[in-house]
Each structure stands twice: as C-alpha cells, then as structure tokens.
Amino acid sequence: MTIQKLETGNTSFDHISHGGLPLGRTTLVAGSSGSAKTLFAAQFLAMGIELFGQAGVFVTFEEQVDDIRKNLKSFNWDIDTWEKEGKWIFLDAAPKEEIIIAVGDFDLSAFRIRLERAVKRCNAQRVVIDSIGSIFTQFHEEIHTIRRELIQVALTLSRLGATSIITAERLEEYGKITRFGVEEFLTDNVVLLRNVLHNEKRRRTIEILKFRGSNHEKGENPFSINVEKAIVIIPLSAMNLKHTSSDERVTSGIAALNKMINGGFFKGSINLVSGAIGAGKTLMVANFVNGIRENNERCLLMAFEESSEQLFRNAAGWGIDFKQLEDEGLLKVICVYPEVSSLEDHFINIQDIVKTFKPDRIAIDSLSALSRTSSDKGFREFIIAFTAYLKHQQITGMFTSNTPLLAGGTSDTEGNISPITDTIILLRYVEMSGEMQRSIAVLKMRGSKHDTSIRKFCITDSGAEIGNQFEGISGILTGNPMLIKLE
C-alpha cells in the first residue's frame, strides 16, 4: 500500500479515495450518459489549477471544444483565462464535419504526438481524455485497431507521468464496466458514476471500484452537483462511529420533560419526536429552540412544512419569542419546501449553514416531509450521514416525524431513523370517554435512565404541560386504550 495519491482538490472525493487519484497513473471513470463523467474530469483539472497551480490538458474525443467551454462556464471556472495563461490546454480530437473513410491500416501516432506536445508545453500534471468511447464510434469499423492504439495512448500517458482520467460510456448502470471493453487495458484504477432512476427519483452515486495497490472506501456514495462546488460527494461509507459521546446534559426547554429524561438531552445527541398531526411536535421543537436561552446556545431550525410567519405566530401563541431570538442572532430559521432540491443538496446546504452559523442545536420539522424527496434507500443513507455529521460536530438535534395514524402506530420514517437516534419521544392521542387527550412517553434514551410512564400532555396558552401518568389504562401505544379495573 505504498502508491502515492494526488489530491484532486475535491475534498469529498479525496475523502472517499483516501487521498485522491493514484499519482502518475491513469484512472478509468466510467458511467452511463448523463452521469457527470465530463464534469468529474473537468473538475479534476479546474481544482488542480485553482488550488495547486498544476496545469492540465483536456482531450475531447466527443464534444466540441466550444461546447465544453460553454458548459463549464456555469461552474465559475475561468477556463478562458487559464487557456491564455497556458494552464489549461484543450486538445481537440472531436469528430469533424468532414467525411472520413478508412482505407487500410492506420495508427493514432498523430494523436499521441499531439498529446505529448500539449503535456510538455504546459508542464501538465493532470490529463483528461473524454471520452474514449467516442473514438470507437468515430472509427467504428476499426475497433480492433483502436483498441490496439489506445493501449499505446495509455503507455504514452504513463511515460509522461501525468495523473490522468479517461472517461468511458456504460450502457447499463449495473453491468459490464464499459461499452467497448476498454477496461481490458485500463484496469488498474476504476471509478464508476451512476445516475439511477428509482421510483421516479434520480439518484447519483460514485463508486471507487478499484485502485490497484491502494486503499479507498468501498461501495456507492451519493453525490450532488451544485454550481459552487460542482460534484459534492456525501461520503456514507467513510462515516465512522468514532465521535465522542458527551455526558453533558442540555435542556429540552420543558422542565417536566427534563425530569422525564433524567435531566435533559445529552449534548450532541439525536432526538426524535414522533406523533400524529397536531400531537404537539412543533411545540416540542419550539421549546427545544427556546432552550438555547439557558446556556446562550445557538440553534438552526429547518422547517419543511410551515412558513416562517406561521412558525413565529405559533411559537408566540405558546409564549416563545422566535423573533427576539433571531434578532439576538441566536436563532436561524430556514423555511423551504423539501421538493426544491434533492436530499443531497439539502444536506450540503445544511452543512454550509452550519459552517457559517455554528449552531449548538439543530431542529428539523419534519423529517417525514423531507423523506418525500428521495427513495427509501436514499433517505436512510441521508439520515445516517446527517446524524453522523451532527454527532461529529457535537450538535444536539431534534427531528420530528409524522405518524400516519392518529392514535398508535409508527411511520416509515421512524423505521429508518429510530436505530440511530439516542432518544425517542412519542406523542400519541388517547381516545378516552369521547375525548381526544394527548399523551407523551419516552420510548428510549440511550445511556440514561428515563421515565417509563405514559403521561398526559396538554397544549395550553403558556405552552406544553406534562401531567400525571395515565393510570388504569392500557393499550395507548397500540391505539386501543382500555380502562383496566383497579382492584
């Protein structure tokens, strides 16, 4: 395991690849059409110039140079200037308008000589060839010749010592690596990009299939494309459970609830509030937010169901002044529809806010709304990545989830999230004697004693009130409460 890596500059990729691409070697980046191969490759060059002052050569076998320039402009990479400064060289090997016919044997020595010349001219440390499949299409009758010649190209690259990416098409997301079998000679380092449609939702992932002689994270990691950072990978497999767990308690914002959970939530813990509509979840969140007062903490509230006006009004109705907290700079409220972006983008967005705002607490109301934007698998991965992230940052989190049934029951969201939460609080309706009463119970609390009783929970003008245990009643959690005769 002594192969050196070249830091690409895309921090999330360097993370899952344990340091970047194998230095001085060629990596095959394969993906179906629209899987962001070209972007991945271009970002590799752009980051090299921006962050490390390493020049790059971009060889195009497919798209016209002008189109690539235009497409990449949206990522704020100043390719025109880099070209003028000799840091970025385009090598145009794209198909020409002219008709080409082949008569007899040929080789690609002209291409190799041009490539070598370009690399030497700018002293390039990074080379991209995009995409190798197109040259097979350009010379479709001579596939054997092309294959033989590409081996020569690979040898040239290796002699030049530049770290390079060759992109190639795949026809299926889960099948043989490339369409023209180039993996036969570009076999040492393979990265796969996928763009899978599942349940009407697109999910982009990246997988490092192999880096010969070197370590990397295994399996698929979702990624997202945004304008500021281009490809951002959410490193699932690189998440670890090494975060420290704190003994420090922080208030839930409700004194009686603190008592039920033996003093408060643990700092840096993930706490789930589950309940049907109107059961008091947002009230719990409001109190959790207000709890920052006690130790002068800061809180980020992500609301996916209500507008901020609604939230502020409701909180005011319970005697909690969000406006004041916001004015003091202790609270940041972000209200968005979950559908405005993908789960991955939400995650990246939250990370950005955390970086600048540095909250001690995060409340998400509700996770169920957020889960609409993704497949089950995607959502589960998001939750794992997100909770690991929060724990790493020592941020105390409160998430809410909706149960579909008014009384009893659990939701799918909970099924995904409950194993990784530290505390689960159930808010359930109890239908008793022609009245809907509310109840609260602490289902679990990791590393702490907690009250096991199911208590009355009232929402009043002054906020939440937690009352006595429901005595002589059973079946609340299953949604069929019954009076038991007390002897």
Partner 1 sequence: MSMHVFQLFINGHTPNSVEAVDTLLKICKENLNDNYDLEIIDIQEYPEKAEEAGIIAIPTLIRMMPTPVNRIIGALNVRSRVLAGLGISSMHK
Annotated catalytic residue 62? yes
Residues 6+ away with beta carbon under 8 Å from 305 = 365, 366, 369
Closest distance of CB 106 from partner 1, Å: 4
CB atoms within 10 A of CB 86: 11
281-290 vs 308-317: helix axis angle to the nearest 10?
80
- The stretch near partner 1 (CB under 8 A) out of 103-111, 232-240, 325-333, 388-396 is 103-111
Taking a C-beta distance cutoff of 8 angstroms, is the pair 290, 253 a contact? yes
Closest distance of CB 105 from partner 1, Å: 5
The tokens for 83 are: 């070209």
Closest distance of CB 167 from partner 1, Å: 17
Round the CA-based radius of gyration of the chain to a whole number and report it. Answer: 28
CB atoms within 10 A of CB 248: 13
- The stretch near partner 1 (CB under 8 A) out of 98-106, 122-130, 305-313, 455-463 is 98-106
Closest distance of CB 92 from partner 1, Å: 6
CB atoms within 10 A of CB 44: 28
Annotated catalytic residue 305? yes
Q: How far is CA 225 from CA 218, 230, 263, 344, 451, in A?
A: 21, 5, 43, 9, 46
* Contacting residue, 1, 103, 227, 486, with partner 1 by CB under 8 A: 103
Which of the residues 104 through 133 are near partner 1 (CB under 8 A)?
A: 104-111, 113-114, 117
C-alpha to C-alpha distance for 14 and 54, rounded to whole angstroms: 17
Residue 101 or 241: the one with the smaller Cβ distance to partner 1 is 101
Q: Kind of pairing, strands 361-365 and 299-303? A: parallel
Closest distance of CB 88 from partner 1, Å: 16
* Contacting residue, 1, 101, 227, 486, with partner 1 by CB under 8 A: 101
Closest distance of CB 129 from partner 1, Å: 12
Please report whether residue 457 would count as binding partner 1 according to CB under 8 A: no
Residue 150 or 276: the one with the smaller Cβ distance to partner 1 is 150
Query: Per-residue x/- marks for partner 1, 136-175, CB under 8 A?
Result: ---x------------------------------------
The tokens for 8 are: 């690409």
4 phi and psi angles, rounded to 5 deg: -75, 150
Which of these is catalytic: 7, 149, 217, 305?
305
* Contacting residue, 73, 84, 96, 358, with partner 1 by CB under 8 A: 96
Which of the residues 175 through 214 are near partner 1 (CB under 8 A)?
A: none
- The stretch near partner 1 (CB under 8 A) out of 93-101, 224-232, 284-292, 309-317 is 93-101
Instruction: Enumerate the H helices of 334-469 as residue ranges.
Output: 343-357, 367-371, 376-392, 412-417
Taking a C-beta distance cutoff of 8 angstroms, is the pair 481, 474 a contact? yes
- The stretch near partner 1 (CB under 8 A) out of 100-108, 178-186, 208-216, 335-343 is 100-108
- The residues binding partner 1 (CB under 8 A) are 92-94, 96, 98-111, 113-114, 117, 135, 139
Residues annotated catalytic, as ranges = 62, 305
